[in-house]
Amino acid sequence: MIETSHWPLILAAYALTFGAIGVVALSVWLTGRRRAAELARLEAAAPRERARAERT
């Protein structure tokens, strides 16, 4: 009987698990960074927006 090594399947399972977690973590982190930058931009623009509204 030929003995088959199952290590490629084991490594594939581990790679898929940690790859999926890594992709989600990266996506959540990038979304957070983008939203924090967007919020900072809007908060900086908000006083100008209010001042413009008051002038007109």
Partner 1 sequence: MGWDWILKYANPTHFMRLAARLVPWFWGLGAAFVALGLWLGLVASPADYQQGETVRIMYVHVPAAWLAMFCYIVMTSAALGTLVWRHPLADAAQKAAAPLGAVFSFVCLVTGSIWGRPTWGTWWEWDARLTSMLVLLLIYLGLVALWRTIEDPNKAARAAAILTLVGVVNIPIIKFSVDWWNTLHQPASVFRMGGPTIDSSMLWPLFAMAIGFNLIFMALHFMGIRNEILGRRIRRLSMEAAAGGERAAPAASTGALA
Q: Which amino acid belongs to residue 47?
A: P
CA distances from 19 to 8, 43, 44 (A): 16, 36, 37
Instruction: By CB under 8 A, name the one of 1, 2, 4, 47 that touches partner 1.
Output: 4
How many Cα atoms are found within 13 Å in the side-chain-facing hemisphere of 15? 6
Examine residue 26 and tell whether it contacts partner 1 (CB under 8 A): no
Give contact residues for partner 1 (rule: CB under 8 A). 4-7, 9-10, 12-14, 16-17, 20-21, 24-25, 28-29, 31-32, 35-36, 38-39, 42-43, 45-46, 49-50, 52-53, 56
